[in-house]
């Protein structure tokens, strides 16, 4: 057993599991706030530009800390350049960008419901790529968490759920899901000699290069972003939290728990998005929100395999 695998083994037992899931849930909180901000400025700031500039901010934030750590490690980037290229495009550049574009053509209800299928896709791809098999308890927990998301996005109404209709924006969001899941699964193949901060920094310029043609086309033929102090602060916020911080937290959580178990925390995103909409956008808090929250947390606890008494 290597030193890194020994550390991972210790971290995925007892309090270490709680710590790892805490990182993942905090990442979901940051990504949920990104949904709220993106929804708030989508009429004046186009989706590809938002994806591009948020990662430009993230690269600027990471650079002073990451560049010194990369001294003597650039040979790892050259040796694993195919891996870095894939992760930079599939994880940094396109999943969130495609989601932003999709949200211009669909509702937040549809988007939340579709992205709640992330754990199912993660488990499927983990089985296809790495041969990982989910237990019946994990599958039951995923179904329960998904039910909690349905309760929230359908406002506790069967009528609202029956009126759910697919549109082109929904298809774009569906396309983004396997990209993100593939990123999370292949993530564990990164060079162990490189720490997480330096690794994420190397991915950011790759993602920016991947997005550059699309952002140029959008600015010329679709619409250019409208810059103001409010949009600048919004871009800086999502660049620091939903890009740099959230990806650091997610990458570390995946390293400790594996992609399949990490995926069980993803239903927290629509839960947090609903709560933030209440706190920041003035939306009302209803009984179905509370019921959905309880069901999501219960499903996560069931699928996570945590044993809080043993941890204590």
Is the pLDDT at 25 greater than 80, yes or no? yes
pLDDT at 309: 44
Query: Cα–Cα distance between 171 and 125 in angstroms, integer?
Result: 19
CB 230 within 8 Å of CB 95:
no
pLDDT at 67: 93
- Out of 145-149, 191-195, 232-236, the most confident range is 232-236
Query: Cα–Cα distance between 50 and 238 in angstroms, integer?
Result: 9
Query: Cα–Cα distance between 212 and 208 in angstroms, integer?
Result: 6
Q: Which residues of 240-257 are buried (b: 16+ CB within 10 A; e: fewer)?
A: bbbbbbbbbbbbbbbbbb
Tell me what percent of the residues of the chain surpass a pLDDT of 70: 89
pTM of this structure: 0.83
Query: Cα–Cα distance between 23 and 33 in angstroms, integer?
Result: 16
- Out of 1-15, 100-114, 134-148, the most confident range is 134-148
Query: Cα–Cα distance between 43 and 74 in angstroms, integer?
Result: 41
CB 304 within 8 Å of CB 264:
yes
Query: Cα–Cα distance between 9 and 49 in angstroms, integer?
Result: 41
Place of tokens 């530009």: 49
pLDDT at 168: 78
pLDDT confidence tier of residue 170, bands split at 50, 70 and 90 = confident
pLDDT at 5: 45
Q: How big is the CA angle at 47 (ends 277 and 88), to the nearest 5 degrees?
A: 105
pLDDT at 306: 65
Is the pLDDT at 1 greater than 60, yes or no? no
Query: Cα–Cα distance between 273 and 278 in angstroms, integer?
Result: 9
Q: How many CA atoms lie within 13 A of 280 on its CB side?
A: 14
Segment 87-102, tens digit of pLDDT: 998 888 888 888 888 8
Q: Which residue has the higher pLDDT, 302 or 61?
A: 61
Is the pLDDT at 307 greater than 80, yes or no? no
Query: Cα–Cα distance between 143 and 149 in angstroms, integer?
Result: 10
Query: Cα–Cα distance between 242 and 228 in angstroms, integer?
Result: 20
* Closest listed residue to residue 112, CA positions, set 282, 285, 266: 266
Q: Return mean pLDDT, the chain.
A: 84
Mean pLDDT along residues 24-31:
92
Segment 215-250, tens digit of pLDDT: 999 999 999 999 999 999 999 999 999 999 999 999
What ranges make up the beta strands (E) of 129-271? none
CB 264 within 8 Å of CB 138:
yes
CB 110 within 8 Å of CB 164:
yes
* Closest listed residue to residue 97, CA positions, set 35, 59, 52, 39: 52
Is the pLDDT at 308 greater than 60, yes or no? no
């Amino acid at each position: 057993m290597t030193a890194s695998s020994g550390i991972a083994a210790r971290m995925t037992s007892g309090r270490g599991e709680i710590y790892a899931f805490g990182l993942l849930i905090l990442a979901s909180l940051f990504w949920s706030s990104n949904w709220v901000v993106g929804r708030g400025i989508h009429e004046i700031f186009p989706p590809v530009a938002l994806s591009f500039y948020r990662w430009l901010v993230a690269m600027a934030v990471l650079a002073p800390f990451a560049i010194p750590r990369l001294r003597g490690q650039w040979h790892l980037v050259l040796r694993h350049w195919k891996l870095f290229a894939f992760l930079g495009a599939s994880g940094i550049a396109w999943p969130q960008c495609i989601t932003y574009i999709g949200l211009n053509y669909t509702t937040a209800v549809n988007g939340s419901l579709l992205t709640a299928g992330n754990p199912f896709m993660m488990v499927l791809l983990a089985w296809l790529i790495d041969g990982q098999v989910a237990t019946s308890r994990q599958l039951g927990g995923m179904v329960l968490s998904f039910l909690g998301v349905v309760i929230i996005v359908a406002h506790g109404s069967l009528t609202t759920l029956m009126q759910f209709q697919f549109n082109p924006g929904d298809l774009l969001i569906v396309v983004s899901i396997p990209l993100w899941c593939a990123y999370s699964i292949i993530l564990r193949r990164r060079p162990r000699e490189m720490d997480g901060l330096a690794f994420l920094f190397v991915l950011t310029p790759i993602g920016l290069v991947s997005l550059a043609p699309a952002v140029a086309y959008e600015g010329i033929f679709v619409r250019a972003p409208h810059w103001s102090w409010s949009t600048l602060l919004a871009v800086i916020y999502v660049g620091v939290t939903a890009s740099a911080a959230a990806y650091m937290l997610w990458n570390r959580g995946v390293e400790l728990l594996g992609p399949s178990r990490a995926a069980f925390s993803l239903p927290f995103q629509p839960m947090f998005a609903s709560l933030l909409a209440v706190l920041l956008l003035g939306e009302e808090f209803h009984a179905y929100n509370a019921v959905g929250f309880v069901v999501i947390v219960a499903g996560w606890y069931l699928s996570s395999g945590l044993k809080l008494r043993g941890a204590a």
